[in-house]
A and B are shown apart, each in its own frame.
Chain A
Amino acid sequence: MAEGPRGPGDALWEALLALLPPMREELKLDVGEKVDRGAALLVQQAVELFLGGRQAECLQASEAMLDYTWEKLNAGPWQAVDRAWRQVYALGCLLKTLCLCQPPREATAVAAALRVCDMGLLMGAAILGDVLVRVAAVLQAHLVAEKRPDRSPRRELPSTKRARYDHISAPDVQLERAVPRLHRPSLQHFRKHFLLPGRPVVLEGVADHWPCMRKWSVEYVREIAGCRTVPVEVGSRYTDEDWSQTLMTVSEFISKYIESEAGDVGYLAQHQLFDQIPELKGDISIPDYCCLGSGEEEEITINAWFGPPGTVSPLHQDPQQNFLAQVMGRKYIRLYSPQDSEALYPHETNLLHNTSQVDVENPNLEKFPKFAEAPFMSCILAPGEILFIPVKHWHYVRALDLSFSVSFWWS
């Protein structure tokens, strides 16, 4: 199928081909009614070019698919984007990935292909049995095998960097009303006293034996996920004017925002890392208490939150129940009841109506006088602990250390 010499059985190429459907015509996705005729034609043409071994032209066609569908993905709110467009985008990523990896390939081709794959996972929708996840795993394995075996081991962070950690002050939570703590409450007890009345609680002894608690470190994360592309939030908090989101590999994120003394704060926040890298999913578990909800287990959204000390999530509320499991480092968390929403001065705009205008640890009481009297609970969440944040409960989070949390949004 490929043109030209392929070299002595290119293992990567063989592994990729093995992931494709045996009936290659299946690559011509049935895009349905929602996709424009011109775009549907392009899908047909691009697949035909691939099947015909016309790699350079297929590359152009798949890039054209990505460029056009990118516009559809950016038109209007994300929830309104038709799944069909995201599937076409994913197919474009798959074809481009294959074209880049087809021998003879450039030295940087596989890393570039993995970035494309990750874009397909981030912005696309599952196609061909979620083939992109498996393609990414094959590419990642190839890249890891390629790395020099004598790579010098990373050392402890030099003492000069410790100073940064010292600046982070932990609030004296003894002076504040504490979130109650329970050791492995029964399902019934949790449901009756916390889930139904919507009261926060710290669960101890539930997550402390998850593999992640003993396995995870910055080095481990870099090893497992280093070459994968993830979204990163840059800026102190998302309510700031100079806050932005960008994409980079996990390695780049670690060296730029965890290991170096960058001026900016970078936060790998609210990212479904465990869908992207299934290997990591084996290190965590879904808390049993989630079965008290009405949704299916597949519908639970699991997010990773990985960042340096000092990351802040401004006071806000979410539309689902949340279990926040702490894996590395500690977080200071404050909770306000939805009953007191008025004293929290939510933004008026559509975009930020679930976010308070008040800077919790440095409130402008002249502008927001009622905030001073708003009752709250707080805790310092440590590794192995899970905080239950009831639906719509306002929460503010500040990392006191280098931190990795895993959140479970369920209904």
Chain B
Amino acid sequence: MAEERPGAWFGFGFCGFGQDPGSGREHQVLSPEPLRAGGDICHVSASWSYTALVTRGGRVELSGSASGAADGCRDAWASEGLLVLLRDRSGSRAELQAWPPGSGLRGEPLWAQDPEAEEGDEPGAEGRTGLLPLLPGSRAYVSLQPPLRRALAPELRARRLELGIEHALLLDAAGQVFSWGGGRHGQLGHGTLEAEPEPRPLEALQGLPMSQLAAGGWHSVCVSETGDIYIWGWNESGQLALPTRSLAEGKRTDTGEDEGLNEDGSKVERAAEAPAPFIAIQPFPALLDLPLGSEAVGVSCGSRHTAVVTRTGELYTWGWVPRSPVGTTG
């Protein structure tokens, strides 16, 4: 069954980015539209200016500022600087390849490596898609800064790995969340702004098994097995669904009172009101309630926004909406 991707990302139609393949239109996608590719889509990896679609038949297709296609592909991970592919090789081996997005997937990749999956770790191509940047065997992952291939301690038993702009999140087989990297915006969830050099478990979530995990630019989200959402990190655009400063200031001036002096110099009476609280940084996980008590089953993040899918199939998004209209649906 084709996976429909909502148009909740930039449509730079005016400069030909047009990430929606096949539509041939120049304008932004304002509401969810089905994607089309040469085959059933089983995975989508969206970068800012281009998208990689992977079909069940193992074909990867690029659209937007990058174009090209290739076969024998199990997984793809798109970023502005690099396109990382997991390609089939003889036997059940796979090869990790990094391509410049502008290469059109022609010629040779920038580098290629054996992902060093252990025998018996991989049941087959099925179920492997969409795990990048986590590598097969979960002993290592791909990073965008050198060293490009980084090891993971085997005892972590990583099930899923997500990278933010300055941090990394990991979900293990038991549903425990780990975080490491930069922490200036509270995105690690350990209650401080300090960096962590190695994966450190989130104590606040111990004993609460998680099933889904996502990293935004500077925030983190996970969903428990019972459908609860936990969120932490930077809230400058409301990506944590917590009150932001601009909202708080809006509340203050909503009383219609002006500050300072009138034109004729008389003093204006200001309503004595405590400033509305706002949260710029949430340094440890906060539980988020969805309207109607809905349960979440999936979560995804942009650099400054968050999206959640509920058990009953609704999509909620919150955070920063760029001035160019974006197809968010409530």
Q: Is chain B found bound to chain A in the same assembly?
A: yes
Binding site for B on A (CB under 8 A): 36-39, 41-42, 45-46, 49, 57, 60-61, 63-64, 67-68, 71, 74-76, 152, 155, 158, 160, 244, 246, 255-256, 259-260, 262, 349-351
B303 contact from A37, A38, A71, A160, Cβ within 8 A: A71
Q: Do B15 and A255 have beta carbons less than 8 Å apart?
A: no
Chain A binder among B135-143, B206-214, B255-263, B310-318: B255-263
Q: Do A71 and B267 have beta carbons less than 8 Å apart?
A: no
A residues less than 8 Å from B260 (CB atoms): 255-256, 259-260
* Interface flag for B294 (CB, 8 Å): no
Q: Mark B136-166, 1 if CB is under 8 A from A, else 0.
A: 0000000000000000000000000000011
Interface size on B, residues (CB 8 A): 40
Provide the bound-state CA to CA distance between A39 and B12, in Å.
12
B residues less than 8 Å from A64 (CB atoms): 10, 12, 322, 324
* Additional A-B contact list (7), CB under 8 Å, known A38-B17, A45-B14, A63-B324: A36-B81, A42-B15, A71-B165, A75-B165, A255-B261, A259-B261, A349-B194
Q: Mark B212-226, 1 if CB is under 8 A from A, else 0.
A: 000001100000000
Q: Do B182 and A76 have beta carbons less than 8 Å apart?
A: yes
* Interface flag for B284 (CB, 8 Å): no
Q: Do B265 and A41 have beta carbons less than 8 Å apart?
A: no
Provide the bound-state CA to CA distance between A106 and B265, in Å.
29
Q: Do A244 and B101 have beta carbons less than 8 Å apart?
A: no
Q: Mark B237-276, 1 if CB is under 8 A from A, else 0.
A: 0000000010000000000000111011101000000000
Provide the bound-state CA to CA distance between A49 and B303, in Å.
27
Asked, given contacts A38-B49, A38-B50, A76-B166, whether A158 binds B267 with beta carbons under 8 Å apart, the answer is yes
Q: Mark B182-208, 1 if CB is under 8 A from A, else 0.
A: 100000000011110000000000000
B259 contact from A260, A349, A351, Cβ within 8 A: A260
Provide the bound-state CA to CA distance between A68 and B101, in Å.
18
Q: Which 8 A-B pairs have the closest CB atoms?
A: A38-B49, A45-B15, A36-B80, A255-B260, A38-B65, A57-B14, A75-B165, A260-B260
B residues less than 8 Å from A244 (CB atoms): 245, 280
B residues less than 8 Å from A75 (CB atoms): 165-166, 217
Provide the bound-state CA to CA distance between A63 and B10, in Å.
12
Asked, given contacts A63-B324, A67-B322, A75-B165, whether A38 binds B194 with beta carbons under 8 Å apart, the answer is no
| Contact residues of B: prevailing secondary structure | loop
Q: Report 18 cross-chain contacts, Cβ distance below 8 Å, ordered by A residue.
A: A36-B81, A37-B80, A38-B66, A38-B101, A41-B65, A42-B12, A45-B14, A46-B15, A61-B15, A63-B324, A68-B48, A71-B165, A75-B165, A152-B263, A155-B265, A255-B259, A256-B259, A349-B192
Asked, given contacts A64-B322, A256-B260, whether A38 binds B265 with beta carbons under 8 Å apart, the answer is no
Q: Do B265 and A152 have beta carbons less than 8 Å apart?
A: yes
* Interface flag for B282 (CB, 8 Å): no
* Interface flag for B323 (CB, 8 Å): yes
Provide the bound-state CA to CA distance between A404 and B58, in Å.
67
| Contact residues of A: prevailing secondary structure | helix
Q: Mark B1-35, 1 if CB is under 8 A from A, else 0.
A: 00000000010101111000000000000000000
Asked, given contacts A57-B14, A64-B10, A71-B217, whether A262 binds B194 with beta carbons under 8 Å apart, the answer is no
B residues less than 8 Å from A36 (CB atoms): 48-49, 80-81
Q: Do B16 and A45 have beta carbons less than 8 Å apart?
A: yes
A residues less than 8 Å from B14 (CB atoms): 45, 49, 57, 60-61
Provide the bound-state CA to CA distance between A310 and B73, in Å.
65
* Interface flag for B102 (CB, 8 Å): yes
Most chain A beta-carbon neighbours within 10 Å: one of B14, B15, B267: B15
Residue of B nearest to A58 (CB): B14
Q: Do B12 and A74 have beta carbons less than 8 Å apart?
A: no
Q: Do A41 and B49 have beta carbons less than 8 Å apart?
A: yes
Provide the bound-state CA to CA distance between A256 and B10, in Å.
38
B129 to chain A, nearest CB (A): 24
A residues less than 8 Å from B324 (CB atoms): 60, 63-64
Asked, given contacts A60-B324, A61-B15, whether A37 binds B259 with beta carbons under 8 Å apart, the answer is no
B residues less than 8 Å from A63 (CB atoms): 322-324
B235 to chain A, nearest CB (A): 13
* Interface flag for B179 (CB, 8 Å): no
Provide the bound-state CA to CA distance between A71 and B219, in Å.
13
* Interface flag for B55 (CB, 8 Å): no
A37 contact from B65, B192, B265, B267, Cβ within 8 A: B65
Provide the bound-state CA to CA distance between A261 and B47, in Å.
49
Q: Do A262 and B49 have beta carbons less than 8 Å apart?
A: no
Provide the bound-state CA to CA distance between A71 and B320, in Å.
12
Q: Do A74 and B218 have beta carbons less than 8 Å apart?
A: yes
A residues less than 8 Å from B101 (CB atoms): 37-38
Provide the bound-state CA to CA distance between A295 and B131, in Å.
52
Provide the bound-state CA to CA distance between A60 and B11, in Å.
11
A241 to chain B, nearest CB (A): 11
Residue of B nearest to A246 (CB): B245
Interface residues of B in 38-71 (CB under 8 A from A): 47-50, 65-66
Residue of B nearest to A352 (CB): B193
B257 to chain A, nearest CB (A): 12
Q: Do A38 and B322 have beta carbons less than 8 Å apart?
A: no
Provide the bound-state CA to CA distance between A183 and B245, in Å.
48
A350 to chain B, nearest CB (A): 7
B47 contact from A38, A67, A256, Cβ within 8 A: A38
A residues less than 8 Å from B245 (CB atoms): 244, 246
Q: Mark B270-297, 1 if CB is under 8 A from A, else 0.
A: 0000000000100000000000000000
A residues less than 8 Å from B323 (CB atoms): 60, 63, 67
Provide the bound-state CA to CA distance between A160 and B264, in Å.
17
A235 to chain B, nearest CB (A): 11
Residue of A nearest to B49 (CB): A38
Q: Do A42 and B194 have beta carbons less than 8 Å apart?
A: no
A182 to chain B, nearest CB (A): 43
A397 to chain B, nearest CB (A): 25
A38 contact from B80, B182, B259, Cβ within 8 A: B80
Residue of B nearest to A35 (CB): B80
Q: Do A262 and B15 have beta carbons less than 8 Å apart?
A: no
B residues less than 8 Å from A152 (CB atoms): 263-265
Residue of A nearest to B10 (CB): A64
Provide the bound-state CA to CA distance between A307 and B66, in Å.
51
Provide the bound-state CA to CA distance between A259 and B267, in Å.
11
Residue of B nearest to A42 (CB): B15
Provide the bound-state CA to CA distance between A187 and B245, in Å.
50
B residues less than 8 Å from A246 (CB atoms): 245
B residues less than 8 Å from A74 (CB atoms): 165, 217-218
Residue of A nearest to B263 (CB): A152
Provide the bound-state CA to CA distance between A57 and B17, in Å.
14
Provide the bound-state CA to CA distance between A246 and B246, in Å.
11
